[in-house]
Amino acid sequence: MRSYTLTAPAKINLYLEIIGDRPDGYHELVMILQSIDLADTIEVQAGNTGAIRLCCTHPQVPLDKSNIGYRAAELMAAKFPAAYDNYGGVDITIHKRIPVAAGLAGGSTNAAAVLVGMNLLWNLGLTRSELEELGALLGSDVPFCIGGGTAIATGRGEQLSPLPGLDNMYIVLAKHRSLEVSTPWAYKTYRAAYGETYLKDTESLTARATAVHSGPMVQAIVHKNAREIGQKLHNDLEQVVLPEYPQVLRLREVFANAGVLGTMMSGSGPSVFGLCEYEEIAKQVQVRVIEAMANEDLELFVTRTISHGIQIGSSV
């Protein structure tokens, strides 16, 4: 049976600004997203039962329709019924390395890999932009995860403008295994606290999104100035998550004192990362954080920025 093995990288937010409400109930956002080398491996194989089957040994990963990777396969079957009838079902195996419920788009990147893998498996010939359009039907982060790299994301996060890639800046990433932060809760709480500051008209929203394109963070990325990037990290959701979750706040404080160029919570958390210019410094920071926290519930990774999203590892 034909199969493909794909690498599905995680992402972090270098910048997250909430600028308004949308008619669809989501928030209008301006974000800068960055792929990192921490990745899951996804195997997509032609099935012989006509069914969609998903397998993962991680205890926190659901294996039914609540899994966005499963829904990605369902979407492909619904959009391309002739291919589904011709090729049959699909077996999906997720080898999990990205922490679950961490603000790192672990589920979204798995879904992106399923879309890419099934496009290949079924010989659909879909372009990257066509895959991104399908991904937007599943979740806001899925389109970015397909191509990855470095990008400005606007709208609810699905409208992408690529930026020059950031290769080999090092990231120390930490998350408490037992801690989860609800993304809907974080955005709802932010709206309740700061909704009166939202921009209301389309012209103002467009102007603010445009301003970020030429803003200081983008300029730092264009010039690959790691120190400036570290200083310009920004995440509006920290304003509601850090007061509510002291473990995340403490982790951020430890990073700030560990010799990083900058530190921030990624997405809605609870992952926190520190930005470093060199790998040896990142490894030193990792040791300092472990010593300062002395917490067996804490998992840490040293990884790096990369300029790609889903990659095909092998095919059979």
Instruction: Name the catalytic one among 141, 175, 232, 236.
Output: 141
Give every CB contact of residue 186 below 8 A, 6+ residues apart in sequence: 237, 240, 241, 268, 269
Cβ contact 296:176 at 8 Å: no
Q: Is 82 annotated as a binding residue?
A: no
Give every CB contact of residue 104 below 8 A, 6+ residues apart in sequence: 10, 11, 12, 38, 98, 173, 266, 267, 271
Q: CA-CA distances (angstroms) from residue 15 to 150, 159, 293?
A: 11, 15, 26
Token pair for 221: 């990325």
Q: Is 73 annotated as a binding residue?
A: no
Q: Is 259 annotated as a binding residue?
A: no
65 assigned to active site: no
Q: Is 103 annotated as a binding residue?
A: yes
Q: Is 99 annotated as a binding residue?
A: yes
Instruction: Name the catalytic one among 11, 40, 175, 232.
Output: 11
283 assigned to active site: no
Token pair for 274: 């520190």
Give the closest residue to 154 by CA, choosing from 216, 112, 207, 111: 207
Q: Is 102 annotated as a binding residue?
A: yes
Q: Is 112 annotated as a binding residue?
A: no
Cβ contact 39:8 at 8 Å: yes
The residues assigned a catalytic role are: 11, 141
**Binding site, annotated residues:** 99-109
**Binding site, annotated residues for ATP:** 99-109
